[in-house]
């Protein structure tokens, strides 16, 4: 029986949900949906899975205290917290976790800021993916597109491979006309950002396709390991590169499993609105809000009374520091607005 090791990646800033999500408190640690943080839900997502072994969490120094508090309140077993001296994207993070694992561990590499509503369905999909991973494949979960969306990456399906497909390529955040073509063709799935792979297979592929990343990460692993493993300064010599770009666009081992377990990456206010309960006018309203004639909107007051009237399709977010008002159709621009606000 394979050992299933969750690898929780928690290094992102999540500024597409600014100002609810900030560099100091990214969205994975915020309470955006329900009573618990996305990080907590992710950490416990595989509880009850056969062969489960303690998780590895990869995070940055600025978030170690937040991670430690989440671990202390969680029912999930955590083995190590690997601390990056500087974020270098998902490839170095995942490779660090692989080097800190046993060779035959099946790693389930999880973004910590996604929402999955069907936990049983997710665990079932991991079980299927583990069979592919045991044969040396790198498995990605693909989501059937519900609409043309320029905010997602699309995976091209190749030949059938058991209950999945060989990975034939990527199209990252296409133009809207191209996204319409992709969805109508039915030959692509959204990239969920979840990977299932044996540790030794990931290391081998890194050695072939991104040896500079592997060398930098390997040299950063300290000789003495405790519950918190602080990666050395050598880590920062790695290129900043995603796992998709560094390995998946080049590998011949890629397999895509189509899944349907209620996945939402909460990558924009539109995604957040779609994941939350809405009133008869299609709004999600929280906090001390007086609303009249409002429809299709996300309205959130965190510290004072907010009055909104006669609008449709807006994001209105009030925090002690700033008030954001933007059409929900322009929600992908929030990241740039956050950068402008921070540099003002």
Rounded Cα gap, residues 338 and 16, in angstroms: 8
32: alpha, beta or left? (left if phi > 0; alpha if psi -120 to 50): alpha
pTM, full prediction = 0.92
* Stretch (H or E) spanning 208: helix 199-209
* pLDDT value for 63: 94
pLDDT score for 14:
72
Q: Residue with structure tokens 């073509």?
A: 181
Convert 290-316 to b/e letters by CB count within 10 Å (16 or more is b): ebeebbebbbbbeeeebebeebebbbb
pLDDT of 20? 93
Confidence (pLDDT) at 1 = 66
State residue 343's pLDDT score: 82
E strands along 199-262, which residues?
228-230, 254-259
Residues 6+ away with beta carbon under 8 Å from 118: 260, 261, 262
Burial letters for 222-251: b for 16+ Cβ neighbours within 10 Å, e otherwise?
eeeeeeebbbeeebbebeebbbbbbbbeeb
Tell me the CB-side half-sphere exposure of residue 219, using CA atoms within 13 A.
12
Residues of the chain with pLDDT under 50: none
Please give the Cα distance from 74 to 56 (Å, whole number): 14
């Amino acid at each position: 029986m394979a050992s299933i090791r969750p690898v929780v990646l928690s290094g992102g800033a999540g500024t597409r949900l600014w100002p609810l999500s900030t560099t100091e408190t990214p969205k994975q640690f915020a309470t955006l949906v329900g009573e618990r943080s996305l990080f907590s839900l992710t950490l416990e997502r595989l509880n009850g899975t056969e062969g489960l072994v303690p998780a590895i969490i990869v995070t940055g120094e600025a978030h170690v205290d937040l991670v430690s508090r989440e671990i202390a309140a969680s029912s999930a077993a955590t083995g190590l917290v690997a601390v990056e001296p500087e974020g270098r994207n998902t490839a170095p993070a995942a490779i660090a976790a692989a080097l800190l694992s046993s060779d035959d561990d099946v790693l389930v590499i999880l973004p910590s800021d996604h929402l999955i509503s069907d936990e049983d369905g997710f665990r079932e999909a991991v079980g299927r993916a583990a069979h592919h991973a045991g044969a040396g494949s790198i498995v990605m979960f693909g989501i059937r597109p519900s609409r043309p969306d320029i905010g997602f990456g699309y995976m091209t399906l190749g030949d059938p491979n058991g209950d999945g497909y060989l990975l034939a390529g990527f199209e990252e955040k296409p133009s809207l006309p191209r996204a319409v073509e992709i969805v109508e063709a039915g030959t692509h799935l959204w990239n969920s950002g979840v990977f299932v792979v044996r540790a030794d297979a990931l290391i081998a592929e890194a050695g072939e396709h991104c040896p500079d990343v592997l060398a930098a990460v390997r040299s950063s692993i300290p000789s003495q390991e405790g519950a918190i493993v602080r990666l050395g300064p050598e880590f920062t010599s790695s290129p900043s590169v995603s796992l998709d770009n560094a390995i998946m666009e080049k590998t011949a081992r890629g397999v895509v499993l189509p899944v349907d377990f209620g996945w939402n990456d909460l990558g924009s206010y539109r995604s957040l609105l779609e994941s939350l309960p809405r009133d008869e006018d299609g709004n999600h309203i929280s906090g001390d809000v007086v609303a009249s004639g409002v429809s299709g909107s996300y309205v959130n007051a965190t510290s004072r009374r907010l009055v909104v009237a006669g609008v449709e399709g807006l994001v209105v977010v009030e925090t002690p520091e700033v008030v954001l008002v933007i059409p929900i159709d322009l929600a992908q621009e929030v990241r740039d607005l956050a950068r402008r606000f921070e540099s003002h």
